Amino acid sequence: MSEKWYLGAGAQNDIVLSTRIRLARNLSEYPFPAKLGIPERIKVNNLIKDALSCEGAPKLKYIEMKTLSQYEAVSLAERHLISPEFASSGDGRALLLAPDEAVSIMLCEEDHIRLQVMYAGLALEEAFAYANTIDDIIDSKLHYAFDERIGYLTQCPTNLGTGMRASVMLHLPALTRCGQMQRLVSTVSKLGLAIRGSYGEGSAAKGDLYQLSNQITLGISEKSAIENLKSITLQIAAQERAAREELCKDINYEDKIFRAYGILSQARLLTSDEFMELISFVRLGAVKKLLPIDEHTVNDLLVSMQPATISLSVERPLDAQERDILRAQRVRDAIKEE
Amino acid sequence: MSEKWYLGAGAQNDIVLSTRIRLARNLSEYPFPAKLGIPERIKVNNLIKDALSCEGAPKLKYIEMKTLSQYEAVSLAERHLISPEFASSGDGRALLLAPDEAVSIMLCEEDHIRLQVMYAGLALEEAFAYANTIDDIIDSKLHYAFDERIGYLTQCPTNLGTGMRASVMLHLPALTRCGQMQRLVSTVSKLGLAIRGSYGEGSAAKGDLYQLSNQITLGISEKSAIENLKSITLQIAAQERAAREELCKDINYEDKIFRAYGILSQARLLTSDEFMELISFVRLGAVKKLLPIDEHTVNDLLVSMQPATISLSVERPLDAQERDILRAQRVRDAIKEE
């Protein structure tokens, strides 16, 4: 197994878990996927796969979604490699995936191409540069649906223009605890950004994880969008750090951090929700060097302890109790190894 | 500091923490303490002290209660060496205390003499034999208030006759959890016994600790009373063991045991109530060899983590938060040492 992107260290990693750049692209010769039958989708998928089989392109594995079991597909969504919607139906859909999972390309999701680059920490420019490189390779082989005035054409008008969605995953336990999130949501929306639960629109912020992303794709360059997102990320990170500083002076909060660690070290049953609640405290304790656990171990657990990803690790579907037992065991083992 | 009685091992120690025999005695030449002025009480106290200063008597320290700080007095009550009532007022009261705390004699409590022997585990005959020895020494020097027909005379009629209260401290987490205690309370009362919280009448059963004691002192020999108590203790212990067997098959309960251990290993704040709740799980886990902690360490903590006893260990009164911090630290240290 290759080293996964999330096992690396990244800038601002005390607060920023990861950066994602997603580009939406369509081929000009074909209607949007919704209007394509399965054979035509497969044709489109193969065109794109072939375009990326050349020298200089990243090595990607081609996965037909219909060949995956449900937990394999859902695990990909849990790891943010595909959209939850893409996991739900496999017909005529395929995924191009890098071994380290830093690059994933959904084929025939809403658009023909949903190219994603995901890096650890805050790395917007780097992720964008790499996405751009891959985008250029495809562009040199195939013909994108592009309008000189509007930009890239996409099925959903919210993506028209750059077709780019840049986002960062933030761990904001202190701002959440201090009741600052409501204010933050409204502030960033005025700045053309959105802050949401870790699985996007409508999802809860489990583990105090939030996704901050640009909303505007039209009439703005990728560079400006990224600069804006980066600058606001750094401001939020500074606020979160200040709030953490205050919070950690409170012995009641320190107590909660250590208790969460104690429970995760010993529990025999852990639901996903409880795990997320406790690991948030432990991540802060790790970052603050209060706990004998590395934050990268925590980041790894955040990804690998999700329901379908646990099933994937034993290569069979598990019922809820089996999953809770296995989750508890894996968490104990990870803590013991430190 | 001498080794305390509770640090030793005892029979049935998985369930029976300790055995206490208490004899109530009065001197025939003096009215009951309630009718004595302070100088006369002191006179009585000295008479008894002197009676026990001879060869063959246990080495006892004479402590005038008025010389103790409040937390010193309350700590003695927490450790079951004196009654809570005895801790509340020091005038004309004194205590004779063995270095290992196995023997304590309250002077001028309700009766002139309240002689107690406390042993680890189930040791009713042994404790009674030792109490008897001490009682005989006093009897050989002083004149007890004794009626041929009734037996020993005591202020409260419930103690008339043998003047003996025999009791065992039981840890009954499984019977408590299975909702069996109500039934048990009513059953043992029909058998001339009472089962109560660990601090006697009206006290809550914190930590699932219960005190089982004989109620009848009149028209029954000490031997019969002790045999009765022992036989019922063994029956309850068998029921508790069977209930534990069932309970520990349940992963939800096993999970609770390990979580309790995890929290006690890591918490930075522990109230007395939460400590008692958690240590009950941990004691069962220790007895069942599920946890890397010795049950004697648990027994020691049960005694030493009580509010006034914690203050005693630092020789100054502590406020509630200081106590909770110190308790959490001591518990962590005790677990780490294992």
Report ipTM for this prediction: 0.90
pLDDT higher than threshold 90 for residue A326: yes
- The one-letter amino acid code at B323 reads R
The residue of B248, B259, B264, B288 whose CB has the most chain A CBs within 10 angstroms, and thus the best one to mutate to test that interface, is B259
Query: Which of A258, A261, A267 lies closest to B255 in CB terms?
Result: A267
Closest CA in chain A for residue B256: A267
The rounded distance, in Å, linking the Cα atoms of B201 and A302 is 51
- Place domain A7-243 in its CATH homologous superfamily: Glutamine synthetase/guanido kinase, catalytic domain (3.30.590.10)
pLDDT tens profile B205-261:
799 999 999 999 999 999 999 999 999 999 999 999 999 999 999 999 999 999 999
Residue A328: closest CA among A265, A269, A282, A272: A269
pLDDT of residue A90: 82
Query: Which of B251, B252, B259 lies closest to A266 in CB terms?
Result: B259
pLDDT tens profile A8-35:
678 899 999 999 999 999 999 999 999 9
Give the bridge partners for B96, in sequence order.
B62, B105
Contact status of A251 with chain B (Cβ, < 8 Å): yes
The residue of B251, B264, B268, B333 whose CB has the most chain A CBs within 10 angstroms, and thus the best one to mutate to test that interface, is B268
DSSP label of A151: E
Burial class (CB in 10 A: 0-12, 13-18, 19+), A235: middle
The residue of A249, A250, A252, A268 whose CB has the most chain B CBs within 10 angstroms, and thus the best one to mutate to test that interface, is A268
- Cβ atoms of A47 and A143 within 8 Å: the answer is no
> In chain B, what is the greatest distance between 2 CA atoms, to the nearest angstrom?
63
* Residues above pLDDT 90, as percent of chain A: 90
Contact status of B251 with chain A (Cβ, < 8 Å): yes
Please report which confidence band the pLDDT of residue B1 belongs to, taking 50, 70 and 90 as the band edges. very low
- Cβ atoms of B1 and B104 within 8 Å: the answer is no
- Domain coordinates in residue numbering, chain A: 7-243, 251-337
Please report which confidence band the pLDDT of residue A1 belongs to, taking 50, 70 and 90 as the band edges. very low
pLDDT of residue A197: 85
Give the bridge partners for B210, in sequence order.
B170, B197
Residues 49-108, chain B: which have Cβ within 8 Å of A? Answer: none
Closest CA in chain B for residue A260: B263
Tell me the average pLDDT of chain A.
94
DSSP label of B159: G
pLDDT of residue A205: 79
H helix intervals, chain B: 38-51, 70-78, 84-88, 124-141, 173-177, 181-190, 222-247, 251-266, 272-287, 295-304, 307-314, 320-337
How many Å lie between the alpha carbon of A336 and the closest alpha carbon of chain B? 13
CB-CB under 8 Å, B258 with A262: no
pLDDT tens profile A216-264:
999 999 999 999 999 999 999 999 999 999 999 999 999 999 999 999 9
Average pLDDT over residues B197-204: 69
pLDDT of residue A306: 94
Please report which confidence band the pLDDT of residue B7 belongs to, taking 50, 70 and 90 as the band edges. low
The rounded distance, in Å, linking the Cα atoms of A168 and A28 is 30
DSSP label of A101: S
pLDDT tens profile A29-62:
999 999 999 999 999 999 999 999 998 899 999 9
Q: Tokens at residue A318, please?
A: 């598990």
Contacts of A261 in chain B (CB under 8 A): 266
Contact status of A331 with chain B (Cβ, < 8 Å): no
pLDDT tens profile B108-142:
999 999 999 999 999 999 999 999 999 999 999 99
DSSP states of A275-311 = HHHHHHHHHHHHHTT-SSS-HHHHHHHHHHTSHHHHH
